[in-house]
Structure 1
């Protein structure tokens, strides 16, 4: 009887561990069908990153109007295809986790723009203020930039801080030029913001 109870407890623990592992990723690992999905499920750190990314995606999606949810959905599909290529070709250590870190920072936490959307606006500011997804992206950029500046100002000479400040000022001018072009609609603007977020996240690496 004691042996039977001990075996039962061990089986329960094993089942719990398996279930926890399968639920760790942002998808059902029991249904993993590609090399990338199996890679994610086999690596706990990568599986955790995938879960965080999926949660951030869902949280952002819930605050968007239906038209913007569709835009985010299409862009997420493109990112997943890009992810599959990148994860199979990662050469550097922690490349996979860093790749996910960029996406997680792009998606969340949900932010608001620093722009005062109740005052007179330029055409670019109007686009940002009228699009919830862009307000979020603009807010993420501001937050990441400010966080970086706080870290860099620990340098007694503030050289890196000044370089980043100049780069951010240049990027804002480029943003205003790019987003004011007739061809650059919401999808174009979202991608433009995404590239800036990626730059700010990778600035630490």
Structure 2
């Protein structure tokens, strides 16, 4: 029984080392929202995905200032959250915005979300 417990503990530690954490350093988390993100693996992963998509958007846009401004506005919205559910919804919203931007940039959809010319 003791060997199973140790093996399970080692597995948990090893998988935690490879899990996606937030894009920021949790040791320096200062706001309530940052602390909630660090305490929740789903929110941590969402933050990491958001950061990757933001970097991609900056690299593929013709207007980096617009992308940066949209991210600042989104961060204000996210940072106003008081619950993990609110933060999760904020990440979903930003993810959908980035996905829409990807589709527009690829020509798969128009700016208004319609397809075709």
Q: TM-score, normalised by structure 1?
A: 0.42
Given that residues 60 and 108 in structure 1 are in contact (C-alpha distance below 8 angstroms), is that contact kept between their aligned partners in structure 2?
A: no
Q: Distance in 2 between matches of 1:142 and 1:51?
A: 29
Q: Distance in 2 between the 1:104 and 1:37 partners? A: 18
Where does 1:56-67 land on structure 2 (aligned, <5 Å)? Answer: 56-65=53-62
The structure with the largest alpha-carbon Rg is: 1
Alignment partners' CA distance in 1, 2:22 and 2:14: 17
Answer yes or no: is the 8 Å Cα contact 2:77–2:90 preserved in 1. no
- Give yes or no for contact 1:24–1:47 (8 Å, CA) kept in 2: yes
Cα distance change, pair 15–108 in 1 and its aligned pair in 2 (3 A): same
- Residue pairs, 1:119-134, within 5 angstroms: none
1:100 maps to 2:73: no
Aligned to 2:35: 38
1:75 Cα offset (Å) = 2.1
- Aligned equivalent of 2:76, options 78, 81, 88: 81
CA shift for structure 1 position 83? 0.9
Query: For residues 108-127 of structure 1, what are the structure 2 equivalents within 5 Å?
Result: 108=99, 110-112=102-104, 113=107
**Unmatched segments (≥5 aa) in structure 1:** 1-5, 116-134, 144-205
Deviation per CA, 1:120-158: give whole Å up to 9, x if none: xxxxxxxxxxxxxxx6xx17x337xxxxxxxxxxxxxxx
Q: Distance in 2 between matches of 1:82 and 1:94?
A: 13
The number of aligned residues is 105
The 1:102/1:73 distance shift into structure 2, 3 A limit, reads same
Q: Which whole-Å CA distance do the structure 2 matches of 1:58 and 1:76 have between them? A: 11
Q: C-alpha root-mean-square deviation of aligned residues, in Å?
A: 3.1
Give 1:31 deviation, angstroms: 2.1
Distance 1:77 1:41 in 2: 20
- Contact persistence 2:57–2:67 (CA under 8 A): no
